[in-house]
Amino acid sequence: MSQNNKKSTNETKPKKRGTLKSGILGGVIGGLVVALLGGGYLYTMEPDMPTNSTGIVDKNGKVTTTDVSVNVTSEVTDAVAKVEDSVVSVVNMQEQNTEGFGGIFGSDSDGTNMSEDSSLQTAGEGSGVIYKIDGDTAYVVTNNHVINESDAVEVLMKDGTKVEAEIIGTDIWTDLAVLSIPSENVTKAATFGDSDSLTVGEPAIAIGSPLGTNFASSVTQGIISAKNRSVDTDINGDGVIDWEMTALQTDAAINPGNSGGALINIAGQVIGINSMKISTDTVEGMGFAIPSNDVVSIINQLETEGKVVRPVLGISLLDISQISEQQQASVLKLPKDVTAGVVVGQVQPDSAAEKGGLEQYDVIVKFNGEDVVDTISLRKEIYKTELGKEIEVEYYRNGKLEKTTITMTDTESIT
């Protein structure tokens, strides 16, 4: 990731780079015990605080601090304590070109080549969450864009211990990745809460490494601003929207480097993996996290398969809106009242699409009974279907509406 959160389309692409509580104030004068109820804060102070009308001073009249102890506990501090040891920094290491400096970085003083590891440099930093300990191995979930294009990955624990991580699996579409690390220095694994049961307005706490490892284990607090937000996402960094991610929206501060970190509820359960934010001069407090229920489904597959197995058609896609009206009429021969759909660019040999009879320049307008508006809507419908299921597809060919039945497969394909 390059210390960056994956951005929505309202934000320029990086390397690539997700709680307010009311209270009732009560006080006991005498013992100077003040409790903020509702928020759960408890402050205790000794009664003989050395104060006077000019402030707190020592016997020489110098301003000084007091020896009064303040113990602070709250639902927030309790929640953070349950998770903070499980939140780590994830460092994307990449090989750097050491030529062009007289070879001073390319060989030792005796002229021998340096080790391969010596050319690895930090290319980006993000966050991750340890969610499982299995014998000598612990598993970490992070964002795919955090470790994308890495030559090696390191994990920095809360106590400062740094270990090498192995990439177990990645999924570009959900922007999730699973790493494994030795469990020797792991003390605790986080637990996932039910993101479907969240209530808009309830507390949300983000933990991660904003701006990198120098600010590791930073905690910010806000609320769940919305559920089931559809956020336009540029998957491959070409400036074109490829996907709509379903996400939790929060106003807890999420900054570059928080990607892959935890969004937790007041019970200390992980309810989301922070992934992106909207960052413009006119926008404040709009961060997004992948819901925990989606995360659990994906990481279970990544652990066992190394990837998410999805049905595919085996075609390349192009929105009708990207085709000129002249070409729509002359090449696609579309009726003028057809304004939405997806054009088949290429058909992969032996794919589900080819076996179903789809051809180049067909315009898909319905898939499994659902209207196809654009490539995003078609992809979402494809990925929702079961492998082996027969799907009816409606499309225009040479201006005529036709239908075909396609059996969904998981063959590697263009789409």
Would you give the DSSP letter of residue 116?
Answer: G
Question: Phi/psi at 375 (nearest 5 deg)?
Answer: -65, -35
pLDDT number for residue 249: 97
E strand segments, 197-242: 203-208, 218-233
Residues 6 or more apart from 324 whose CB is under 8 A from it?
none
DSSP for 127-184? EEEEEEEETTEEEEEE-HHHHTT-SEEEEE-TTS-EEEEEEEEEETTTTEEEEEEEST
pLDDT number for residue 238: 79
pLDDT tens-digit map of 244-300: 888 999 999 999 999 999 999 999 999 999 999 888 888 889 999 999 999 999 999
pLDDT tens-digit map of 35-64: 333 344 444 444 444 455 557 777 887 888
pLDDT tens-digit map of 355-386: 999 999 999 999 999 999 998 889 889 988 98
Question: Which residues are the active-site residues?
Answer: 145, 175, 259
The number of beta carbons lying within 10 Å of the beta carbon of residue 132 is 17
pLDDT number for residue 194: 97
Question: Phi/psi at 278 (nearest 5 deg)?
Answer: -95, 125
SS3 220: strand
The number of beta carbons lying within 10 Å of the beta carbon of residue 212 is 21
- Retrieve residue 125's tokens: 């930093």
Whether 278 contacts 11, CB under 8 Å: yes
Q: Quick one: which H or E segment has residue 267?
A: none
